[in-house]
Amino acid sequence: MTFGSGLGHFQASSSLVFGGNNTGSRSETTGVLQGGAGLDVHIPGPIQRLKIRVEARDDWSAVAPINVSTGKTHQHNYYVAGGLVYGF
């Protein structure tokens, strides 16, 4: 289990997707909360030090300056990953 906080900085591009200049707000620095959990599972077999890892995290922050009103004041950024762990 993890939990933490910090600062996040969003910086939007100075140009729009279809050309032209981005005249809206392009920069936002905000507080961020992070929470997550993970699991390591031992793999039975000839390699005793091998494990499978699965983890998920959520970063909760203010909305990035995308110059579109979504009606929301905060956003969630989810991260899910998996992999192999070899202990030595």
- Token pair listed for 50: 């091998």
pLDDT tens for residues 44-65?
Answer: 888 888 999 999 999 999 888 8
Q: For residues 31 and 5, is the Cβ–Cβ distance under 8 A? A: yes
Domain range summary for the chain, segments of one domain joined by +? 2-86
Dihedral (Cα; 10, 13, 18, 24), 10-degree rounding: 70
CA distance 33 to 76: 10
Residue 67 has pLDDT above 80, yes or no: no
Pairwise CA distance, residues 26 & 77, whole Å: 19
Structure confidence by residue, pLDDT tens digits, 1-39: 999 999 999 888 888 888 888 887 788 899 999 999 999
> What is the pLDDT confidence band of residue 87, given thresholds at 50, 70 and 90?
confident
